[in-house]
Structure 1
């Protein structure tokens, strides 16, 4: 069989469609030779710069997963997005920089029958495979080596990986016990796999992203979330501050989470927000 015209993995994902310099400027990073330290710095910078948000599904739009469209939204228009957008963007940047990247899927809340709808990445550098995931809400700040039995500090919260049938589980120490955030295996995915999952997540009435606003930001020692009308700041010691946000307070709350909508979208979100129970 003649393989000379078969697409490479990078071609399948169209990583070259990303303006890498614009992405690096968005997150405040310079080009660097692939290394574990450079991967960590890039991952952290992405989490700090780009919000997790569901404005498009909330307004009845299914986000495009084309790299050019993701970059236009998250990089050039300085919006945020959810897991597919964040991690497809990160994967394209990493591949352009010379990293070996595998795109995977994960089952959310595996102990309660959650769906296999989350996207994460396996990145190989310096002889080690790492879990990279900039799109799990306000999840992990830094990539984690794919090994069990080691606890990792993620912006003040305790995380670890444990063995799971056929793969691994990402666990977070919460309320005195380890709880599974998601489980995942090593199987590489194809673009169509995310198109199918994205359709469900963006359109299904039982999706957590179609019925109420979700915006999340992670920084050292504080996780800030706007879930519906509730603005919450959580801390690793379990303490939290809670504020109920009304329609007139919405724009300010979004700005406090580094999310700046244009006037048209802000109007539509405010209308949707006012109708929430």
Structure 2
């Protein structure tokens, strides 16, 4: 078993010698969501590096940081490949429910498609707190988890042919669009991921280059930290408190195991 495989299992708390079957992917996705935060600290600090397999392993598995969609889904993609799953990386466009518009940053969202005996499933880990925690078939079938209900429907758009819809537990009363994905043009070159990272870092309308954001799911909700607030959901109840820059660093370590006090 190689370093990536072992290190990923150690990071999420999955037994090193246990075979990962399709049926165990739910557990892998839950453990990944609980262990590896969605965060943009490298973007804010302007310390991003070229996107390579080595740099990604160093960032997520050695330094034990988190990352954005392209970081988290790429490391999961590599892990799934090492465990003999037939997977590919695809690009998509986020939908903003507040403005009812597609993201101006374009095809900068990265997801995983898994082919199991000819049936395609969407695998999601890098999408903030909007995680299905289960493979979602591209058939319109509704999948339910502790985080809500999710489905992928076929629908032709300018940006792709499948749309992820979601109804988050405790938060949504109606279905919302998450993003559209393009299944016909898989990513075949890491240069594409570098391009995505540059857009997210530099685009004036990127939502991730304005202020620090860290979030992850927990066993009974979620926790989100910015430079001004700490928001926690526990069993359907939300609490929010104000934070200052010094306390931000302590809370990042307490809730996300990110050491910013060095």
Q: Does residue 180 in structure 1 map to residue 171 in structure 2? A: no
* Structure 2 equivalent of residue 275 of structure 1: none
Distance 1:108 1:77, change over 3 A: same
TM-score by length of 1: 0.81
Aligned length: 248
Q: Say which of 102, 115, 129 aligns to 1:113.
A: 102
TM-score (norm 2): 0.85
Judging by fraction of residues, say which structure has more helix: 1
Aligned position for 2:84: 98
1:27, distance to aligned residue in structure 2 (A): 1.4
Alpha-carbon distance in structure 1 between the residues aligned to 2:155 and 2:228:
36
Q: Which runs of 5+ in 2 are unaligned?
A: none
Contact 1:106–1:182 (CA<8 Å) still a contact in 2?
yes
Residue aligning to 1:160: 151
Matched residues in 1 for 2:2 and 2:92: separation?
A: 26
Larger mean Cα displacement after TM superposition, 127-136 or 84-93? 127-136
Map Cα deviations across residues 59-102 of structure 1 (whole Å, 9 max, x no partner): 11224321111111111111111111111111111111111111
| Higher Rg of the two aligned structures | 1
State whether structure 2 residue 70 is matched by structure 1 residue 84. Answer: yes
Give, in whole Å, the separation in 1 of the partners of 2:261 and 2:231: 25
Structure 1: 4+ residue segments shifted above 6 A: none
Q: Is the 8 A contact 2:132 2:150 kept in 1?
A: no
Q: Distance in 2 between matches of 1:149 and 1:91?
A: 23
By how many angstroms is 1:44 displaced?
Answer: 2.1
Query: Which deviates more, 200-209 or 93-102?
Result: 200-209
Aligned pairs for 1:146-157 (under 5 A) are 146-157=137-148
RMSD: 2.3
Native 8 Å contact 1:18 1:68 kept in 2: no
Unaligned runs of 5+ in 1: 1-15, 265-277
How far apart, CA to CA, are the structure 1 residues paired with 2:246 and 2:20? 46
TM-fit CA distance, 1:17: 8.7
Per-residue Cα deviation, 1:167-212 (whole angstroms, up to 9, x for no partner):
2111122542111011112121132222111101022333211110
Match of 1:24 in 2: 9
- 1:229 paired with 2:228, answer yes
2:23 corresponds in structure 1 to 37
Per the alignment, residue 73 of structure 1 pairs with 59
Cα drift, residue 151 of structure 1? 2.4
Q: Is the 8 A contact 2:90 2:110 kept in 1?
A: yes
CA 197–156 in structure 1, closer or farther in 2 if over 3 Å, else same: closer
Question: Is the contact between residue 131 and residue 147 of structure 2 (CA under 8 Å) also seen in structure 1?
Answer: no
SS in 1 for 2:138: coil
